[in-house]
């Protein structure tokens, strides 16, 4: 079964609105989660590292005020795309980093496809 879930799986919104994407770790508590963005036929680009109870660490070039990340619990991280524009249309994927000894790599969520009109 799914280890990491994302909601919604698909969202269409108007330009200028904000969209919240939830990422839940179902099988383990994750102090660290990652948010990626993937454009068509491109690879995954890490946007930020989400740390439970502290501020997210953003990669160079990612606007922290536009992509708000909240990791309020050990099983939930949210990504809010604020004032979305068509160029924000992409496939957003989260992953959860399991505790030491659980497994050797991240578990990915199924992704959220965002379309901004």
**Interface with another protein includes 43 (CB under 8 A)?**
yes
Among 32, 29, 19, CA closest to 81: 19
Query: E strands of 26-73, at which residues?
Result: 32-38, 45-51, 57-58, 67-73
Among residues 34 and 67, whose Cβ is nearest to another protein? Answer: 34
Tell me which stretch binds another protein (CB under 8 A): 13-21, 65-73, 79-87, 97-105: 97-105
Binding residue for another protein (CB under 8 A) from 44, 62, 68, 76?
44
**Interface with another protein includes 104 (CB under 8 A)?**
yes
**Interface with another protein includes 28 (CB under 8 A)?**
no
- Residue 48 near residue 36, CB atoms below 8 Å: no
Query: H or E segment at 113?
Result: strand 112-116
Binding residue for another protein (CB under 8 A) from 24, 25, 34, 116?
34
How crowded is the C-beta side of 55, counted as CA atoms within 13 Å?
Answer: 6
Cα 115 to Cα 30: distance, rounded to the nearest angstrom: 28
Binding residue for another protein (CB under 8 A) from 67, 97, 114, 116?
97
Residues of this chain that bind another protein (CB under 8 A): 32, 34, 42-46, 49, 91, 93, 97, 104-106, 108-111, 113
């Amino acid at each position: 079964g799914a280890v990491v879930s994302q909601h919604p799986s698909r969202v269409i919104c108007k330009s200028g609105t904000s969209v919240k994407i939830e990422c839940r770790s179902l099988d383990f508590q994750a102090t660290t989660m990652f948010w990626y963005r993937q454009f068509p036929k491109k690879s995954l680009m890490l946007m930020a590292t989400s740390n439970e109870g502290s501020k997210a660490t953003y990669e160079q070039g990612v606007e922290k005020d536009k992509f708000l990340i909240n990791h309020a619990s050990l099983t939930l991280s949210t990504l809010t795309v604020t004032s979305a524009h068509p160029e924000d249309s992409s496939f957003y994927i989260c992953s959860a980093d399991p505790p030491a000894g659980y497994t050797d790599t991240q578990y990915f969520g199924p992704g959220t496809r965002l379309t901004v009109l």
